[in-house]
Amino acid sequence: MIYPILIILAIFSQTSPVLSAAPPFPQAHKLTLLIEKYQKDIADDSSPWPQWTCLQHSFRLGEKDPALSTTKQQLKRLGFLVESKDIITNPIYDAPLEKAIRQFQLRHFIEPDGIIGKKTCTALNMSLQERIRKIKLNLDRLGKLKFNQGERYVLVNIPTYQAYAMEGYKAILSQPVIVGMRSRQTPVFKSTMNSVTLNPSWGVPVSIFVRDKLRRVLDDPSYLDNHGYVVTDSDGQPLYGGDVNWAHVSMQYFPYRVRQLPGKHNALGAIKFNLDNKHAIYLHSTPDQKLFQKTSRALSSGCVRLSAPSDLAVWALGTTPSYAADKIDQLLKKETTHTLKLKDRCGFISLI
């Protein structure tokens, strides 16, 4: 897991050289305040940061282990646990520890299940010095971003699963997003948004088909037809999904094109935001809205899924005549594909 620095931490003191270079992002201001707190905590207690080995075992309420005493010490120094010395040194997973763990998990964008697994252990083991180092790294990244007053761009904060529609340094809109899973992370890059596609079709990349769809197709030959996919051969001739011998395809051998038509099953949802980039990354809606209820949302194959795509579309097309909210809604209801060019392109930035 990438540790979520940008939103839970803040910039340096007045004497820090980073402060003068940092742009006026709201995230940067929050980062300053927390780094000041960490520096004070280190001054008050300079002893080594408590550590324990992250095992495959997950600790749950009622269990007993020496590592749980270390966990309590970590949470106390981070301000999540305020208990007596007897409770802190007691190596039992008790109710106060469970409450503190859930709060810690929420702050660190880990599913707040109260179970101390490897992700939670890794985050707990990060010392204050390491947290400060990561804050400085992210402040340096923020400091290199320079914008003019009113300049429009989309900022995606990958580790905090949030997207912002920005004008200069002011966030006009914000919304939860889903980003790339650990094995297919959303890359850090800068680009421009050139158009918005309503009711898009989806040309399924071979890698995603083989990794994510092939097993479903092998288990159910009617899967593709039932979910709005069309298959063509290398000559562009349509094929019935059930007539293809899918057991023979692989990353190296895939003589077909698979496309999902617009509709309720389409993986891109109703709106796609097109970006100029070599990574084949774009922003889009999704039919799986329930996934936004999760705290940890590194679930996609790299693209960014939006929880409120219509709001972003209205903002992105706001400078383009004839594309007000009601017009966009009318086009969506037609269920045919429309690509709307932006009169004024806006930027795109992803950060960790």
Catalytic residues: 284, 303
Distances from the Cα of 226 to the Cα of 10, 222, 236, 337, angstroms? 49, 6, 21, 20
Kind plus residue range of the DSSP H or E element containing 350: strand 338-351
181 contacts 327 by C-beta, under 8 angstroms: no
Look up residue 338 and give its two tokens: 């429309």
Number of other CB atoms surrounding residue 159 within 10 Å: 20
As a whole number of angstroms, the distance between CA 31 and CA 327 comes to 41
As a whole number of angstroms, the distance between CA 36 and CA 14 comes to 10
162 contacts 7 by C-beta, under 8 angstroms: yes
Report helix, strand and coil shares of the chain as percent, to nearest 5: 40, 20, 40
Spatial CA neighbour of 143 closest among 153, 135, 131: 135
* Angle subtended at Cα 352 by Cα 142 and Cα 38, rounded to the nearest 5 degrees: 75
Spatial CA neighbour of 279 closest among 207, 211, 186: 186
196 contacts 271 by C-beta, under 8 angstroms: yes
Q: Rounded to the nearest 5°, which phi and psi values hold at 325?
A: -60, -40
As a whole number of angstroms, the distance between CA 341 and CA 273 comes to 10
Buried b (16+ CB within 10 A) or exposed e, 185-215: bbeeeebebebbbbbbbbebebebbbeebbe
CA atoms within 13 A on the CB side of 285: 23
Look up residue 156 and give its two tokens: 């995606």
